């Protein structure tokens, strides 16, 4: 009886060790970055995005917007959708609001979809293609000089876990719906513009021959008038 119990305990121990070993091998790798090393790697991730970029940053500044502007232009030229989650304009000091409003407008002009959340948000997160997760203490859209730490986790499960934890699923769905509606509206506008252009060309096509005929007719009339004038002058001169 003792031998069986001891053997069973050893079996359980080996099983626990095996399970822990499997967990450790499946555990996603991560790398730590500071405020100096973060931007190079994060920029590489942004430029490597295939479908989507999500940035969850409580604050924005013009300084950091100027840094991201050419990167966002490249992403939008490749039709990469960009979603920004940040605090509303009212949460800033009134002295800085005009500059912040201009900054947010610039993001929207670039085709970025912005969601304004409550004043208590303080998480700093970025998710690339829902496969790469960045999280830590650095305000991605406003950082300038403070010492910070960010962790990069290339793991889809971790990324989706954070999306769910922050409650972004519904907001992202609303964002894609808005993007689709804008696309349809732009397509309708383009169709209308094309139709108007064709109508203008049609009437121009009709107008040009008519104008030419009128010019020819007037020239003929002028020639006939000069001819009659010359005949009359000869008649009276004789």
Q: What local confidence, expressed as pLDDT, does residue 199 receive?
A: 66
pLDDT in tens, 163-212: 999 999 999 999 898 888 877 876 666 555 565 666 666 566 666 777 77
Q: What local confidence, expressed as pLDDT, does residue 184 receive?
A: 80
Nearest to 135 by CA among 28, 22, 23: 28
pLDDT in tens, 67-83: 999 999 999 999 999 99
Q: How far apart are the first and last CA of the chain?
A: 154
Residues of the chain with pLDDT under 50: 2
Structure tokens at 78: 């490749």
Q: What local confidence, expressed as pLDDT, does residue 2 receive?
A: 46
DSSP string, 187-204: HHHHHHHHHHHHHHHHHH
Q: Check the CA dihedral 38-65-85-173 and report its sign.
A: negative
Nearest to 168 by CA among 121, 201, 205, 206: 121
Q: Check the CA dihedral 105-108-62-66 and report its sign.
A: negative
* DSSP code at position 110: T
Structural contact between residues 134 and 149, judged by C-beta atoms closer than 8 angstroms: no
Q: Which domains does the chain have, with CATH numbers?
A: 28-167 (3.30.870.10)
């Amino acid at each position: 009886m003792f031998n069986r119990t001891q053997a069973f305990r050893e079996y359980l121990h080996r099983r626990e060790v095996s399970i822990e070993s499997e967990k450790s091998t499946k555990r996603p790798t991560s790398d730590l970055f500071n405020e100096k090393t973060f931007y190079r790697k994060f920029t590489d991730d942004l430029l490597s995005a295939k479908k989507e970029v999500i940035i969850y940053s409580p604050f924005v500044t013009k300084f950091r917007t100027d840094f991201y502007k050419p990167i966002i232009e490249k992403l939008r030229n490749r039709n990469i959708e960009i979603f920004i989650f940040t605090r509303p304009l009212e949460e800033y000091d009134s002295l800085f609001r005009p500059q912040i409003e201009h900054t947010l407008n610039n993001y929207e002009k670039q085709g970025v979809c912005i969601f304004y959340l409550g004043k208590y948000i303080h998480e700093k997160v970025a998710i690339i293609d829902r496969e790469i997760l960045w999280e830590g203490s650095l305000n991605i859209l406003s950082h300038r000089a403070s010492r910070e730490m960010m962790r990069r986790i290339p793991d889809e499960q971790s990324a989706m876990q954070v999306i769910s934890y922050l409650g972004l699923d519904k907001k992202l769905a609303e964002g894609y719906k808005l993007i689709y509606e804008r696309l349809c509206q732009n397509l309708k506008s383009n169709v209308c513009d094309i139709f108007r252009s064709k109508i203008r060309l049609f009437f121009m096509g009709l107008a040009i021959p008519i104008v030419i005929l009128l010019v020819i007719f007037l020239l003929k009339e002028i020639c006939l008038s000069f001819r009659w004038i010359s005949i009359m002058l000869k008649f009276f001169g004789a």
